[in-house]
Chain A
Amino acid sequence: KNEVEQSPQNLTAQEGEFITINCSYSVGISALHWLQQHPGGGIVSLFMLSSGKKKHGRLIATINIQEKHSSLHITASHPRDSAVYICAVSGFQGAQKLVFGQGTRLTINP
Chain B
Amino acid sequence: EPEVTQTPSHQVTQMGQEVILRCVPISNHLYFYWYRQILGQKVEFLVSFYNNEISEKSEIFDDQFSVERPDGSNFTLKIRSTKLEDSAMYFCASTRDRNRDEQFFGPGTRLTVL
Give me the interface of A with B, judged by CB distance under 8 Å. 30, 33, 35, 40-45, 47-48, 86, 88, 90, 95-103
Contact = CB atoms under 8 A, between A and B. Distances in A.
B103 A45 contact: yes
21 contacts: A30-B99, A33-B102, A40-B107, A41-B107, A41-B108, A42-B107, A42-B108, A43-B105, A45-B105, A47-B102, A86-B42, A88-B43, A96-B48, A96-B56, A96-B98, A96-B99, A97-B33, A97-B48, A97-B58, A98-B103, A102-B42
Contacts of B85: none
A64 to B, nearest CB: 20
B56 A97 contact: yes
B26 interface: no
Contacts of A40: 107
A41 B37 CA distance: 10
B89 A41 contact: yes
B18 interface: no
Contacts of B104: 45
B48 A101 contact: no
B28 to A, nearest CB: 17
Contact of B31 (A35, A96, A99): A96
